Chains A and B, each alone.
Chain A
């Protein structure tokens, strides 16, 4: 039994739980970061050729940086418009 794999499973489920259950938009962003990291660990332990999985982790890091920047810009706009970052307050499309 590979414990690193189990850890990546638990981290992914924790991130999914955070992203689904929390109502604060920043915490949702943090959950998505956790899911990215779980996927990165999975790439590290299951690479077939040396260095291939780590190259994928580099790409994941790039995507995570772009996601964080865009997400914070969206949250900033949300705060300007609704003066709160609670995701249950944004009911314009309801």
Chain B
């Protein structure tokens, strides 16, 4: 069961890289993120799975699809030359993954993820050990959202420059 989920996520991720049309890439990213939420559910991480669906699938993906509506038809969503070849790009991705694999292998404890009642642990950790990052991330999110809404507001029409020579 777990292997099927993993295969699904991997295929959707690769299809995001290979699809020529922008909207197909967005929808395969949507499927990939939903698959990752399923993987979290499989590892008994219910809270994270819910947050993943709410934040990524509900928030980020809608934002990306709004952004796609901005772009002109066929505006640079294709990669030219050698990098656009699907076989070469898959080989490149696998080579990159191999480099990462030989560079770093963490100690993976499989037994931890089969425990239950993670939500209680997360609640306790956010107010004890990770209190400072928790507060920092709330402030960071507030600052980022205020900055984003400031940057993307409709600008008032620029006041016309007073031509001094014209007045004379």
Bound together, the chains give a CA A89 to CA B71 distance in angstroms of: 13
Task: State which of B22, B36, B83, B105 has its C-beta within 8 Å of the C-beta of A37.
Answer: B36
> Is B87 an interface residue when CB atoms closer than 8 A count as contact?
no
Bound together, the chains give a CA A30 to CA B72 distance in angstroms of: 18
CB-contacts of A48-94 with B (<8 A)? 48-52, 54-55, 57-59, 61-70, 72-77, 79, 84-89
Q: From DSSP, what is the main secondary structure of chain A's interface residues?
A: helix
Closest B-chain residue to A44, C-beta based? B43
CB-contacts of A13-63 with B (<8 A)? 13-18, 21-24, 26-27, 29-31, 33-34, 37, 40-42, 44-52, 54-55, 57-59, 61-63
Contacts of A42 in B (CB 8 A): 106
Contacts of B10 in A (CB 8 A): 7, 10-11
Chain B nearest Cβ from A14, distance in angstroms = 5
Q: From DSSP, what is the main secondary structure of chain B's interface residues?
A: helix
Tell me whether A21 and B76 are in contact (CB under 8 A).
Answer: no
Contacts of A65 in B (CB 8 A): 55, 59-60, 141
Output the residue of A2, A12, A68, A84 with the most chain B CB within 10 A: A68
Bound together, the chains give a CA A41 to CA B66 distance in angstroms of: 27
Interface range, A side: 35 or more
Bound together, the chains give a CA A76 to CA B79 distance in angstroms of: 22
Tell me whether A21 and B89 are in contact (CB under 8 A).
Answer: yes
Closest B-chain residue to A45, C-beta based? B108
Task: State which of A5, A29, A63, A77 has its C-beta within 8 Å of the C-beta of B151.
Answer: A77
Given contacts A26-B68, A46-B109, A68-B60, contact A14 B16 (CB under 8 A): yes
Closest B-chain residue to A66, C-beta based? B144
Task: State which of A6, A7, A77, A87 has its C-beta within 8 Å of the C-beta of B152.
Answer: A77
Closest A-chain residue to B70, C-beta based? A79
Contacts A10-B94, A68-B59, A85-B70 given; 10 further ones with Cβ under 8 A?
A5-B106, A13-B93, A44-B45, A44-B113, A45-B110, A47-B109, A70-B148, A73-B151, A74-B151, A79-B70
5 A-B pairs (CB sep. < 8 Å): A7-B9, A22-B79, A54-B118, A65-B60, A84-B75
Task: Give 5 nearest A-B pairs by CB, closest first.
Answer: A51-B121, A66-B144, A13-B96, A86-B76, A73-B148
